[in-house]
Amino acid sequence: MSTNPKIVVWSKQGCQYCAEVKSYLEANHYSYENIDVGANDILRDVLEVKYGIRHVPVVEIGREGKFEGVIEVGLEHLQAALAK
């Protein structure tokens, strides 16, 4: 069984924090899938249904078939979720 989590980053072009999250993941050798919500309001609707927010970035971390959404701004929240 793989110990690497599945990571999905919901982001948009020009978002400074989105770029910071991606840079952190890449620097720490995490692979991730990126979903760009910039030109697609339907994707923001998905975030609203799932998490009650329409802003990015949102990082989803999946382990053993369960996903946790990191919606708080600040790398410390992402780091804590990855450390679990």
The whole-number pLDDT of residue 18 equals 98
Whether 77 maps to a domain, the answer reads: yes
Q: Name which of 76, 83, 34 is nearest 56 in CA terms.
A: 34
Query: pTM for this one?
Result: 0.92
- What residue numbers bound the domain in which 20 lies? 6-83
**Domain harbouring 71, CATH code:** 3.40.30.10
Residue 44 predicted with pLDDT over 90: yes
Q: Is the pLDDT at 1 greater than 90, yes or no?
A: no
**Would you say residue 56 has pLDDT above 50?**
yes
As for how many domains the chain has, the answer is 1
pLDDT at 19: 98
Q: Say if residue 36's pLDDT is above 50.
A: yes
Single out the residue of 50, 49, 48, 45 nearest to residue 60, CA to CA: 50
Q: pLDDT of 3-25, one tens digit each?
A: 789 999 999 999 999 999 999 99
Residue 1 in any domain: the answer is no
